[in-house]
Amino acid sequence: MNDHELDQLLARANPYGDKTVRQLPAAGAESKLLEDILTTTEPATRLRASRHRRITIGVAAAVAVAAAVAVVGAVLPKDSPVAPFVAPQQAYAAELVAVAEANERILIDDPAWKISRVDEFTKDSGDLAFSNGDKTFQVTWYPAKAYKAYFTDRAHGSVGHSEVQVLGQQGTLFRYAKNTFDFAFMLPSKGPSFVETRADLGSEEAYREVLGKLKKVDVNTWLGAMPESVVKPEKVRAAVDGILAEITVPKGFKTAPLYKETVVARYHLGARVTTAASCAWLDQWTAATKSGDKVKAAEAVKAMQGSKSWKILKDMNAEGDLPEVIWNYADEIAGKIKPESKSGKPADGYKQGLGCK
């Protein structure tokens, strides 16, 4: 279960989502409470000049970690030879094309809706989100064999469902709660995967309108609609080597597992490499501390401190939490901060914390 999936499950489990609370019929009680509080005896306070100030709260919507932004699609270099009979078009890695061909390629036929997030795609699963201003419309591909189980779950978790024709196929529209417009729509599987869409667009009409704009497209159009900055499968090796060249790894560090060729965001690829390196250094530090090998322990402490200047971690720090977690372990084993673990031991639980294998 990745971060995004956990966030989704958490959001669904929220008994009172923001919209539910906003729509509670409590306006009369709200203003009465305000007026009643204002008429209570207030203790003398120091009044300052110009207290009238709009208080804006920078509360981010929902969750903090922006870890997953895997993006697919890449164009030929400008100087690549293109056969004259082939219309100018984007070219993609074979694996990526295979993934695109395996999945039903769906876009929203409205330029206002743009793909804003793409998670790692395989031949039978993937997840992307379209955004239009502050509205989000999510499309998820699940393995076909899971259709029945998901359908049962949605039917159980919703307050009603109806049959709707979309993309020339009959699908099922689920409404999740009476007091929200959180809808999910499932299309029966075709090929290795089935598609589910989900959004709260303020009304059933708005949701159905977007459903009506869904269109199936060819591979190149679909891939061409993806945002830029993806690490293509055939570029994974070079990207991993690039990261390895900038970081320090212990002697005997195994790099083979890092080269797995997938469609992956640079953040995730960075996480793959830096957690492997950090795990290896923390393994060395743990073993050396246990055996009393001060040289090896000091080497690990120095390397982990050095991670604060790894470019990849500095880049990733703007997107997610992993760099801070690594640096925290670095500071714990360097004795710079008090260990957070209950045991009081530095970096205790790092294998679980970093997902070391």
Partner 1 sequence: MTSTPSPPPPVELRAVPDRELRFRELFDDNFRPLLGYALRRVANPDDAADIVAETMLVAWRRLDDVPVDGTARPYLYGVARRVLANHRRGELRRDKLAEKLRLHLAELTPDVTSLSETSAAIRDGLARLSDSDRELIMLTGWDGLEPREAAVVLGIPGRTVRTRLHRARTRLRKAVGDAFTDDGHVRDDQHARPVQEER
| Residues in region 8-67 near partner 1 by CB under 8 A | 9-16, 18, 20-22, 24-26, 28-30, 32-34, 36-38, 40, 42-43, 45-48, 50-64
Q: How far apart are CA 343 and CA 355, in angstroms?
A: 20
Q: Are 141 and 125 in contact (CB under 8 A)?
A: yes
Strand, helix or coil at 13? helix
Residue 263: CB minimum distance to partner 1, A: 18
Nearest one of 333, 263, 215 to 94, comparing CA atoms: 263
Residues 294-323 interacting with partner 1 (rule: CB under 8 A): 321-322
Residue 65: CB minimum distance to partner 1, A: 8
Our finding on whether 157 is near partner 1 (CB under 8 A) is yes
Nearer to partner 1, 15 or 257 (CB): 15
Our finding on whether 6 is near partner 1 (CB under 8 A) is yes
β-partners of residue 117 are 129
CA distances from 92 to 60, 76, 126, 233 (A): 35, 8, 18, 10
Give the H/E segment covering residue 207.
helix 204-213
Residue 20: CB minimum distance to partner 1, A: 8
Nearer to partner 1, 48 or 251 (CB): 48
Our finding on whether 153 is near partner 1 (CB under 8 A) is yes
Q: How far apart are CA 49 and CA 227, in angstroms?
A: 49
Residue 175: CB minimum distance to partner 1, A: 10
Residue 282: CB minimum distance to partner 1, A: 14
Q: Are 159 and 213 in contact (CB under 8 A)?
A: no
Our finding on whether 75 is near partner 1 (CB under 8 A) is no
What interhelical angle do 294-306 and 266-291 show, nearest 10? 160
Nearer to partner 1, 54 or 254 (CB): 54
Residue 37: CB minimum distance to partner 1, A: 5
Residues 250-269 interacting with partner 1 (rule: CB under 8 A): none
Our finding on whether 144 is near partner 1 (CB under 8 A) is no
Residues 185-224 interacting with partner 1 (rule: CB under 8 A): none
Q: How many residues belong to the site for partner 1 (CB under 8 A)?
A: 81
Residue 274: CB minimum distance to partner 1, A: 14
The 10 Å Cβ neighbour count of residue 155 is 13
Q: Are 337 and 348 in contact (CB under 8 A)?
A: no
Nearer to partner 1, 64 or 238 (CB): 64
The span of 2-10, 88-96, 101-109, 286-294 binding partner 1 (CB under 8 A) equals: 2-10
**Dihedral pair phi/psi, residue 86, rounded to 5°:** -95, 125
| The one-letter amino acid at 251 | K
Tokens of 225: 């609609």
